[in-house]
C-alpha cells in the first residue's frame, strides 16, 4: 500500500480503528528501536500493541509500509512541513522565516514529549544503519523538509538551491538543531544549568539563528 492509500485510509478511520492504528505505531516505534528493522517481527509488534496480526495488513499493508509510517510518526513529518510552510507564508524576509522555522523546530523537539527519547533512538538507528526503506524514507519523509530549508537558505545566500554552498549551509543549520536534540542527556550533564525550559529553548533557537545568519550574510552573493 503506497503513501496516498495509507493516508487516505488513515483519514477515514472510525475512532476505534484510529486507536488501533495509534497503538500499532507506538508499539512499532518501541520494537523497531529495540530490535531494528530486520530483527523486529510483525507478530511481536502486534503482541505489544495487543491487537490481531491481521490488522497490520489492514492499516498499513505490510511490515515495510508500517516501518515507513512509523518514521513519519516519529519525525512528525506533516507537522514539520506545516511549520515550514507557515513560516514562509508569513515572512517575506527569508531571515525571519529561518528564525521562525528554527524556533518552531527547537520547541517541538526539545519541549516535553513523552516518547521523544524512544523516537530519537529509532530514528538514529535508521540514519546510522539505513534499511531497505532508506530510499523511500529519504524521498518521502526527509526530502520535502530538506528542500524547503534549502530554498530559505538559498534566498539568504542569493544562490541556487543546488549550489554546494547552499547545501553545506543547510546542513550546518540542521546539524545545530540536531545536536541539541541528540546530545540533550549529555549536554545536561556538561551544563547542569541547561534545563531546556521555555526560556532556554528560545535562547538556543536564537543562538543557532544568529550564529548561522552571521555566516550566511557574509557569504551572500551580489546579484
> Mean pLDDT, the chain, as a whole number?
88
How much of the chain exceeds pLDDT 70, in percent? Answer: 89
Rounded to an integer, the average pLDDT of 56-64 is 94
pLDDT of amino acid 12: 55
pLDDT of amino acid 149: 95
Tell me: domain 3-74, CATH 1.10.10.60, correct? yes
- CA 33 to each of CA 8, 74, 126, 130, 159: distance values in angstroms, whole numbers, following the listed order: 27, 11, 9, 13, 39
pLDDT of amino acid 215: 98
Per-residue burial over 183-217, b = 16 or more CB atoms within 10 Å of its CB, e = otherwise: ebeebeeeeeeeebeeeebeebbeebbeebbeebe
pLDDT band, very low/low/confident/very high, at 63 (cuts 50, 70, 90): very high
Count of beta carbons in the 10 Å neighbourhood of residue 17: 15
Q: Range with the lowest mean pLDDT among 11-20, 41-50, 78-87, 184-193? A: 11-20
Q: How far apart are CA 180 and CA 109, in angstroms?
A: 9
Rounded to an integer, the average pLDDT of 153-169 is 97
Q: How far apart are CA 122 and CA 127, in angstroms?
A: 9
pLDDT band, very low/low/confident/very high, at 29 (cuts 50, 70, 90): very high
Give the tens place of pLDDT for each residue, 64-103: 999 999 988 888 777 778 889 899 899 899 999 999 999 9
Domain boundaries, the chain: 3-74, 76-218
pLDDT band, very low/low/confident/very high, at 8 (cuts 50, 70, 90): very low
CATH topology of domain 76-218: Tetracycline Repressor; domain 2 (1.10.357)
User: Taking a C-beta distance cutoff of 8 angstroms, is the pair 59, 9 a contact?
Assistant: yes
Give the tens place of pLDDT for each residue, 93-137: 999 999 999 999 898 888 755 556 677 778 888 888 898 888 988
User: Taking a C-beta distance cutoff of 8 angstroms, is the pair 25, 70 a contact?
Assistant: yes
Q: How far apart are CA 73 and CA 116, in angstroms?
A: 11
pLDDT of amino acid 81: 84
Grid cell 509510517 in the structure block, residue: 69
Per-residue pLDDT at 9 exceeds 80: no
Count of beta carbons in the 10 Å neighbourhood of residue 13: 14
User: Taking a C-beta distance cutoff of 8 angstroms, is the pair 181, 127 a contact?
Assistant: no
List the grid coordinates of 169: 549551509
Amino acid at each position: 500500500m503506497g503513501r496516498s492509500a495509507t493516508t487516505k485510509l488513515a483519514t477515514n478511520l472510525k475512532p476505534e480503528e484510529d486507536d488501533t492504528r495509534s497503538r500499532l505505531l507506538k508499539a512499532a516505534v518501541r520494537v523497531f528501536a529495540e530490535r531494528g528493522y530486520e530483527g523486529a517481527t510483525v507478530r511481536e509488534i502486534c503482541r505489544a500493541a495487543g491487537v490481531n496480526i491481521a490488522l497490520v495488513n489492514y492499516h498499513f499493508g505490510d511490515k515495510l509500509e508500517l516501518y515507513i509510517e512509523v518514521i513519519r510518526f516519529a519525525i512528525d513529518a506533516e507537522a514539520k512541513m506545516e511549520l515550514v510552510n507557515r513560516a514562509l507564508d508569513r515572512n517575506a524576509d527569508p531571515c525571519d522565516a529561518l528564525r521562525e522555522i528554527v524556533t518552531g523546530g527547537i520547541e517541538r523537539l526539545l519541549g516535553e514529549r513523552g516518547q521523544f527519547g524512544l523516537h530519537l533512538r529509532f530514528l538514529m538507528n535508521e540514519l546510522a544503519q539505513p534499511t531497505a526503506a532508506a530510499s523511500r524514507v529519504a524521498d518521502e519523509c526527509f526530502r520535502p523538509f530538506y528542500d524547503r530549508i534549502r530554498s530559505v537558505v538559498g534566498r539568504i545566500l542569493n544562490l541556487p538551491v543546488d549550489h554546494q554552498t547552499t547545501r553545506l549551509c543547510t546542513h550546518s543549520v540542521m546539524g545545530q538543531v540536531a545536536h541539541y536534540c541528540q546530545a540533550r542527556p549529555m549536554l545536561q550533564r556538561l551544563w547542569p544549568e541547561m534545563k531546556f525550559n521555555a526560556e532556554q529553548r528560545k535562547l538556543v533557537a536564537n543562538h543557532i539563528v544568529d550564529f548561522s545568519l552571521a555566516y550566511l550574510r557574509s557569504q551572500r552573493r551580489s546579484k
